[in-house]
Structure 1
Amino acid sequence: MKPTLEDVVRPSMVVSGYRIEKKLGAGGFGKVFLAWRDGGPCALKFIHLESVGEWGWRELFIMLRHEFPNVVKLLSHFKWPEEKPEYLVLVMEYVPGVTLYQWARDNNPCARELVEKLLPLARALKAVHAQEVKHRDLKGDNVLVRETDGEPVLVDFGAGAMPGAPRVTGALAPANLRYRSPEAVAFFLREDRKRGESYDYSVRDELYALGVVLYVLSTDVYPFNGPDDELLGEILDGDPKPPHVRNSRVPQALGELCLRLLAKAHARVPDAEALCEALEKLLEAAKADPRWEVPLCYGWTVDGRTTEDAPELVGHDPEAWLRKWIRQKPKRGRPPAPPVVAPAPPEPPDTSTVPTLRTRVRRAAPVLMAVVGLAVVGAGLGHVLGQRQQPPSSPTPGQPVLTLPLPGEFSLDDPAPWATHVHEVAPPWKPPEADAGATPSKANTPAPVTTMTLSSGTTRMKKKAPGSQAEKEKKGNNSTGANVLLAVAAAANMACPGAQVRKEPAPQACPAGAVETMTRQLGIPVGDMSGAELPGRKEGSNKPVPVKEGAFSLELTGNWRVGKDAMLRGGREVLPDGTRLSGQLCIGEKRVYGRITQVVTPTGDTFSVCMELYDKVGDRGLEIEPDGGGAVTVHPFADVKAVERFE
């Protein structure tokens, strides 16, 4: 097998006079290593010329011509190895620090601190745009916060553009879909788009991406999120929840500026100069308003919990939820050192005190276990009788409370493959029900949801099907306890398909743009395959694992390489080991079929794809193993095949 760059470039080796210390990271156009020369550090970016092609020269072309404030500097460049060059190596200024998103997670900044970070970045973009240069991949992970002075530094111009730079094919520049503007998405979905036609990326696209960055920093969630087909429609609709509504700690003026950056092109902030003026005005206003000094997210506490992440139990396993809820960490900031407290003798309980949330959760555990038991009994009897619940007493001010219902971003399962490290937040100075904040208003059990496959020109991907199911439930037993028991019992009933007839999935077109992204942007040809592992396998075991119909994910068991020979040697890496793949699982009569529509790399880059699950002998789907003990089980290892249409 052809060695990878990590196999060749190792710590302590010398590359053209630079001593390698360690790998710093990887992006879509190269891998970066920390190196030393003449007693000083630098960053070496290795760009594989054969696989990246003309894209590899764009960053060099831009950085050679210009030097911008708050932009990483190019020091030198060379080809390597000298005798037979395979890589273009850019010698860059080394910026010690963390990404902008990691800085926010570590420090839990206030609104003023966000503006102070964004203002130098906006000034840098003003200088960049003045030279007709566009970054085209602006996101929080491409901005480093320098640890020496706290200044933001824009890095990675691998997807950049400027007049005279090498031209390459592709409808859109490679970038994360969440940062695409509505006009870029509309171009991509246009039915009359000519083959080879490229989108004319503008300054307004860059400002839209910066608006996404500001939204994430302010609320800890993306303005739009989800599978690619839904995400495209949401971006086209362009109606995000205002940041100051999602998170009450965001000053309204800052939230409104963020919405102006995310608006349609005609209403968007026109250029970086106007953005700088708006940010400067916000800093002036912040001097006289103490709300700008409040951390935007909850921090670490010894025994406290946030209130917005307590999910409703309807339709879920309370025991599994309880385990996950207890393990979940607070939102932002660094954890304090655990206090050293001498053990004290137990005291008799005082009925006048309100127990802490941890005590409430511990006391609630037996009740939740009983709910699970009743659900199982209910599955056999076909119904569960709910009991009338007494109105809850008002909590003592200052005590954390367990609130319902489930926030939209919360999931009881492992985070969806498109999920980020960001979460929703709520105001700390009052209960979540005091205003809209980050906690959603109370809602009944939702009506069934119909998912629509995106086609060219479609703007709305997901809608609630008409009907009166929610109203019927509302007219029934309004007791929360009864609703919980009925929902858990229904979930238990649905978990066992019984004697229903299972059929193979019908043929279906791939999501819009998935094949183009997969073949052109990732470079995975139709028909290529790679190995993957289903979740649930124990280390060192090949025993079958249980699967359920619906959303699922699996993980690559090695680097996906294309162009391998018959002995699986050589080729080039297109997806790294550990990449997660997600899609839908369908259980047939004898086999389980999987359709994969999205991949997420370990660095968080997300791509729309069209792939199917195959077994190791080359047959579509995975054979259902016998003696599954009532569950549907399959072999834990499979192949993933790139296709142009779901069979």
Structure 2
Amino acid sequence: MNVISIFPRAGMSVDGWRVIRELGNGGFAVVFLVEKHGRRSALKVARHRDSSGDEKQTHARTLRELAALLLLDHPNIVKHRGYGYSEHGNVYLALEYIDGWTLAEWAERKHPTVREVLQVFDKLCSALSYMHSRGVLHRDLKLSNVLIRKSDGEPIIIDFSCANYSLAEELTDAGLPPGTDRFRAPEQFQWLREHKAEHRAKYAFQVADEIFAIGAMLYELLTDPRPTEIQARFSLNSTVALPPPARALNVRVPEALNDLVASVLSRDPAKRPVDTEALRRELGELLAYSSAEYLTPVHPPSEQRQEEPSEQRVPPVADPSLPGAPTRSVRGWRGLLGGLAALIVLVVAGGFWLSQGEPPQPREPQVASAPPAPSSPHSAPLTSAAPAMSPVSPPPVPSTGLATAAPKEGSTVKTTPSPEVPPQGRQPRGRAKATAVADCATMTLVAALAAGCPGAQMRPESFTCPADAEEVMREDLRWRVNQRFVLTLNARHGPDDDVWFTAGSEVVGVVPKGVPSDQRAVTPPGTRFYGKAYFLSDRMGRSEGPALVIRYDRVKLPGQDERPICFVVESHSEVYEDGRVKSYNSGGGYVVDRWP
């Protein structure tokens, strides 16, 4: 990215604003902390990129952001404080300075209860309902674009650089509006596929897209104890595979909240709340009739505690004798099997399978009930007073295992009775008896294999490539069956490293630099492959034949969206230890129409 303007530095002045330091650096602007007349603000200076080819459009985008903010005045939306031009001609916006944490940082440091998370989203929906009534769409809602103010715990929506409003001039040449792919509604990708040949077609962004983004943000906080980490995650908007229900990944998620999140993330926009005010009313209903389980931290604080860089984080195992108590880490094979048992919850209870045609619809999860809330909650509900925040910690250490608590082998998960007064407008939901699926989900991998539980196999099942993936590979990607590509199998490690792979773990591969020209034409360097690792147990510990199989089912070319594929890598791994295999991190795989 080349910038053709000179930006201010600490101590310099822009239109009377004294620059203190840089706060952030994005694709279209650089943000500085500035001070004028004793008042601190955030100065957002537009930057022009050579790739855009039009400096005037860069300025027009910034002025459109200003116009959107001029239409808004809400306590949970960042406020504007003027605009102007720097001495080098770059347009700038002066904005309210929010001293706070991003929503992801707040979740890790505050260890909020379920109720506190809902209170934050209730206020966000209030702000969005107001925004939409004024004809403004944010179009880039995500965890980093919401700040929790340190002084009073209020959530503030920031960064309107992708925003649009009624009758605004369209500045985007692409079919889809600007935004972040992970939080896009699935109908955007479906539209893109259907209109790929129409170069001037534009997707009409709707309130339903905004509601999906809110649901994706809520799902992230409920299922991921470390949302600030860069790691492979389930796709929330894939048209090929549904993400597991929130409760399948975290048994602390109340059943009624799990159902609401599933409806907000529905593939069918008509099944989502009709607008953000309707979503706010549903959240308010949960808050009004919430039970003790809503006062439990969403994740055990011990799972969110920052560790020393030298420590290797292992899957936590819950002590069933202490319901609702923090989990404790264990090392060795027991920790590994606990993580793999948590994986079984994803596969069995979450319904995470590939579709052979139309995407499957979410089903009511058959999982164990949440543990009872502790008698003394870890943190009090969010109020107007400043929240008690955890001390600032070192940067997070990437997790090597799933952070879902798994009961000890042979233990029984206790259930919490339903609230005496069910939410109005919802049918009372009884607690289902533990089924075979739930029993399998609580077992360790060894016990699950012995019991013949579905989804517990380390060997990948035979499959025929789905028709939509075949069409994408043939028509869009121009791939052919048996075509070979070279990959770095796990993008988190170097291509020359020896890497340990765990059965069932998510794997993100990447095409390295220096690949042959014929591969570079269809999978250029930087192309990412998303899949899962499996073992061929009969070949473990032997030098002949592959022991590791990675099935990649999605691909993302640079600058493009994820697409379904069928691509398999078989690696000749010689080392086997504690349920893992070690493999050289560079390898070749093949486009397949079936396996084996």
Report the TM-score, using the length of structure 2 for normalisation.
0.58
Q: Aligned partner of 2:95: which letter?
A: M
Kept after mapping to 2: 8 A contact 1:145/1:152: yes
Q: Aligned partner of 1:158: which letter?
A: S
Tell me the equivalent position of 2:404. Answer: 426
Q: CA deviation at 1:584?
A: 3.2
Once residues 29 and 599 of structure 1 are traced to their aligned partners in structure 2, the CA distance between those partners, rounded to angstroms, is: 25
> SS of the counterpart of 1:157?
coil
Tell me the equivalent position of 2:130. Answer: 127
Q: Deviations over 1:68-118 (max 9, x none)?
A: 33100011000112xx51x11000000110101110011111110110111
Assess, with a 3 A threshold, how the Cα gap between structure 1 residues 409 and 184 changes in structure 2: closer, same or farther.
Answer: farther
Q: CA deviation at 1:177?
A: 1.1
Kept after mapping to 1: 8 A contact 2:342/2:405: no
Tell me the equivalent position of 2:243. Answer: 240
Once residues 592 and 205 of structure 1 are traced to their aligned partners in structure 2, the CA distance between those partners, rounded to angstroms, is: 35
Assess, with a 3 A threshold, how the Cα gap between structure 1 residues 458 and 245 changes in structure 2: closer, same or farther.
Answer: farther
Once residues 587 and 277 of structure 1 are traced to their aligned partners in structure 2, the CA distance between those partners, rounded to angstroms, is: 54
Structure 1: where are the runs of 5+ without partners? 306-322, 332-355, 365-391, 393-399, 411-418, 462-504, 509-532, 537-544, 552-580, 601-605, 612-630, 635-647
Tell me the equivalent position of 1:271. Answer: 275
Q: Aligned partner of 2:69: which letter?
A: M
Decide which structure has the larger Cα Rg and report it. Answer: 1
Answering whether residue 164 of structure 2 is matched by residue 161 of structure 1, we say yes
Kept after mapping to 2: 8 A contact 1:237/1:459: no
Tell me the equivalent position of 1:546. Answer: 496
Q: CA deviation at 1:67?
A: 2.1
Identity of aligned residues (%): 25
Q: Aligned partner of 1:546: which letter?
A: D
Q: CA deviation at 1:22?
A: 1.0
Tell me the equivalent position of 2:190. Answer: 186
Q: CA deviation at 1:66?
A: 2.8
Assess, with a 3 A threshold, how the Cα gap between structure 1 residues 597 and 550 changes in structure 2: closer, same or farther.
Answer: farther
Answering whether residue 200 of structure 2 is matched by residue 196 of structure 1, we say yes
Q: Aligned partner of 1:114: which letter?
A: V
Once residues 443 and 133 of structure 2 are traced to their aligned partners in structure 1, the CA distance between those partners, rounded to angstroms, is: 42
Tell me the equivalent position of 1:80. Answer: 86
Q: CA deviation at 1:300?
A: 2.7
Q: Aligned partner of 2:192: which letter?
A: F
Assess, with a 3 A threshold, how the Cα gap between structure 1 residues 633 and 181 changes in structure 2: closer, same or farther.
Answer: closer
Answering whether residue 68 of structure 2 is matched by residue 55 of structure 1, we say no
Q: CA deviation at 1:547?
A: 6.2
Q: Deviations over 1:315-336 (max 9, x none)?
A: xxxxxxxx999522899xxxxx
> SS of the counterpart of 2:84?
strand
Tell me the equivalent position of 2:15. Answer: 16
Q: Aligned partner of 2:20: which letter?
A: E
Q: Aligned partner of 1:300: which letter?
A: S
Assess, with a 3 A threshold, how the Cα gap between structure 1 residues 40 and 428 changes in structure 2: closer, same or farther.
Answer: farther
Once residues 68 and 411 of structure 2 are traced to their aligned partners in structure 1, the CA distance between those partners, rounded to angstroms, is: 52
Q: Deviations over 1:565-604 (max 9, x none)?
A: xxxxxxxxxxxxxxxx96235999999988434489xxxx
Kept after mapping to 1: 8 A contact 2:43/2:93: yes
Once residues 460 and 284 of structure 1 are traced to their aligned partners in structure 2, the CA distance between those partners, rounded to angstroms, is: 50
Kept after mapping to 1: 8 A contact 2:125/2:279: yes
Kept after mapping to 1: 8 A contact 2:315/2:402: no
State how 1:314-333 maps to structure 2 within 5 Å. Answer: 326-328=311-313
State how 1:278-317 maps to structure 2 within 5 Å. Answer: 278-286=282-290, 289-300=291-302
Tell me the equivalent position of 1:482. Answer: none
Tell me the equivalent position of 1:584. Answer: 511
Tell me the equivalent position of 1:642. Answer: none
Tell me the equivalent position of 2:265. Answer: 262
Q: CA deviation at 1:534?
A: 11
State how 1:493-504 maps to structure 2 within 5 Å. Answer: none
Kept after mapping to 1: 8 A contact 2:86/2:92: yes
Once residues 60 and 438 of structure 1 are traced to their aligned partners in structure 2, the CA distance between those partners, rounded to angstroms, is: 53
Assess, with a 3 A threshold, how the Cα gap between structure 1 residues 588 and 191 changes in structure 2: closer, same or farther.
Answer: closer
Q: CA deviation at 1:403?
A: 2.2
Once residues 193 and 303 of structure 2 are traced to their aligned partners in structure 1, the CA distance between those partners, rounded to angstroms, is: 47
State how 1:109-508 maps to structure 2 within 5 Å. Answer: 109-168=112-171, 169-191=173-195, 193-220=197-224, 231=235, 235-237=238-240, 239-263=242-266, 264-286=268-290, 289-300=291-302, 326-328=311-313, 361=332, 403=338, 405=340, 424-427=402-405, 434=412, 436=438, 442=448, 443-447=456-460, 506=483
Once residues 175 and 452 of structure 1 are traced to their aligned partners in structure 2, the CA distance between those partners, rounded to angstroms, is: 31
Q: CA deviation at 1:294?
A: 1.1
Q: CA deviation at 1:432?
A: 9.5
> SS of the counterpart of 2:66?
helix
Structure 2: where are the runs of 5+ without partners? 49-53, 317-327, 346-396, 414-437, 449-455, 475-481, 486-490, 502-507, 530-554, 561-582, 587-596
Kept after mapping to 2: 8 A contact 1:70/1:153: yes
Assess, with a 3 A threshold, how the Cα gap between structure 1 residues 304 and 439 changes in structure 2: closer, same or farther.
Answer: farther
Moved more, 62-71 or 125-134: 62-71
Assess, with a 3 A threshold, how the Cα gap between structure 1 residues 161 and 220 changes in structure 2: closer, same or farther.
Answer: same
Once residues 72 and 301 of structure 1 are traced to their aligned partners in structure 2, the CA distance between those partners, rounded to angstroms, is: 32
Assess, with a 3 A threshold, how the Cα gap between structure 1 residues 162 and 357 changes in structure 2: closer, same or farther.
Answer: closer
Q: CA deviation at 1:26?
A: 2.5
Q: CA deviation at 1:166?
A: 2.3
Once residues 296 and 268 of structure 1 are traced to their aligned partners in structure 2, the CA distance between those partners, rounded to angstroms, is: 24
Once residues 590 and 174 of structure 1 are traced to their aligned partners in structure 2, the CA distance between those partners, rounded to angstroms, is: 31
Assess, with a 3 A threshold, how the Cα gap between structure 1 residues 549 and 195 changes in structure 2: closer, same or farther.
Answer: farther
Assess, with a 3 A threshold, how the Cα gap between structure 1 residues 244 and 586 changes in structure 2: closer, same or farther.
Answer: same
Q: Aligned partner of 2:96: which letter?
A: E
Once residues 40 and 432 of structure 1 are traced to their aligned partners in structure 2, the CA distance between those partners, rounded to angstroms, is: 61
Q: Deviations over 1:407-445 (max 9, x none)?
A: 5599xxxxxxxx998985435887797465799974121
Kept after mapping to 1: 8 A contact 2:314/2:400: no
Once residues 19 and 207 of structure 1 are traced to their aligned partners in structure 2, the CA distance between those partners, rounded to angstroms, is: 39
Q: Deviations over 1:169-201 (max 9, x none)?
A: 221112111111121111011156511111000
Once residues 524 and 179 of structure 2 are traced to their aligned partners in structure 1, the CA distance between those partners, rounded to angstroms, is: 24
Aligned residues: 410
